[in-house]
Structure 1
Amino acid sequence: MNADTFKSYFDMMVTQRDWSWSIVALAYLFVSLYFRFRILCGIRTLVKEVKNRDWYRDARRQYFKHSAAGWVLFFVPVVIVSLLWHKGHLSPVTPQDAVLLLVGILFYFLSLILHLYAFSSAALSTLKQHINKDRF
């Protein structure tokens, strides 16, 4: 694929915003899920190293219970980016657009913090539960 083909696709996306917002939203999802994976993979690897697989399953179950707020905040920037893209011209960024972009960035980082909190609290509560069960 040469530069002219890429430029023609990009020009088509910029001019035909009725359908191209979905490509922008998918790009956000792929990039942000990649960063989320890179941040959480270290914790997940440490939890998987526990010899007892029941502990990992219990921690994962606890994580799914506590991670709903993080997932909601993760998808808010998708909506914001899609609305801004579908709106039209991006060249003069209005103060309202800048505020929306900052809110989207803030929600993304807040979702990462909530996911880290949910995963670490799930791992710690599962560890505490199994240690107390083994002790008695």
Structure 2
Amino acid sequence: MIDLIFAIALAGSTNMVADDLDTAMPEDFSALEIAKFRKKITYGEQHERKAERLAKAAQCDLPVASHWVFAKIHAAILVSASGDILKIVPVDSGCPELEQYTVNHLARYAGNIAPIPSSRKPTWYRTTMNFRWPE
């Protein structure tokens, strides 16, 4: 129950961008610069277990190799000139539950360590979270 409330609160806050900013996400995700965070964003075994439970409950069709399930979730991150995360947009992976989990994880753990753009305007970056678990 607490996870659900936390997820709802984060989901609301991660998609808010000031109205006066013209910050549409570029169409070519692969052309975005890779986010270089000021510190490493870590996620542990508990995060992979949570991702596994979400993917199985949603019956996501994910790639399997050598008896391991692999989930690669890409996201675009809009960072303000001062280094605040303004918006996180997942790239369609076919598993919306893992996409939202990635957004929530980045919003929670990357907020204070996001890269500070070299320009004086908000900048889009790309990042990826990788999950795996036994088949």
Q: Rg bigger for which structure? A: 1
Superposition TM-score, scaled by structure 2 size: 0.25
Which structure is higher in helix share? 1
Superposition TM-score, scaled by structure 1 size: 0.25
